[in-house]
A and B are shown apart, each in its own frame.
Chain A
């Protein structure tokens, strides 16, 4: 079983749609949680950190449920520029453990 598991993709959505990504992690000792975005053949870029209280950044909302070991990302009013691979990431003692990523394609 992988340490971080994400929904299989790809997700194909129209502009303006709301899309949700889900992720589970297996190590309850994980200390920090993130969503990264990766464009084709580029490096991962930090989208947002995820906190137990939930956090929002514009159209993006992230949630963490430590009891269920579950992380989510919601994108509202999706734009063409949101097309990318979204990586769920947990931090353990300084190292990052990545999910395999979920590809999102937003169509006009």
Chain B
């Protein structure tokens, strides 16, 4: 049973560039959430997708956008990258009726 997968593992970008991160949920899960984890901090909720719609959003600017595909996989896009966007980006999947979320290994983004 495959768990949550994310790609790429690492990414280096420069300020002003755009980035797309990808996530495939755990088998049987149809809800995908994205989190940003800065060094030394707990993860912060970015948004959640269910049935290809953004269901909830955290306190992140519009530069952060996402998408969910019919096969439940998801993308996180960040435009106009800032140095402060450097972080570990985590994807978590769940079933809509359960609050337990299972995390992928993350994508480590470095913005120079």
Contact = CB atoms under 8 A, between A and B. Distances in A.
Contact of A96 (B41, B88, B92, B105): B92
A98 interface: yes
Given A32-B99, A43-B104, A95 B90 contact: no
Given A43-B105, A44-B43, A44-B90, A95 B33 contact: yes
29 contacts: A31-B99, A34-B99, A34-B100, A41-B88, A43-B90, A43-B103, A43-B104, A43-B106, A44-B90, A46-B101, A94-B33, A94-B48, A94-B56, A94-B94, A94-B96, A94-B99, A95-B56, A95-B58, A96-B35, A96-B43, A96-B45, A96-B99, A98-B42, A98-B44, A99-B42, A100-B40, A100-B41, A101-B41, A101-B42
Interface of A: 4, 31-32, 34, 41-46, 49, 87, 91, 93-101
A96 B75 CA distance: 19
B15 interface: no
Given A95-B58, A96-B92, A101-B42, A46 B102 contact: yes
A85 to B, nearest CB: 9
B55 interface: yes
A15 B5 CA distance: 34
Secondary structure dominating the interface of A? strand
A101 B44 CA distance: 12
A49 B100 CA distance: 8
Interface string B71-98: 0000000000000000010101010100
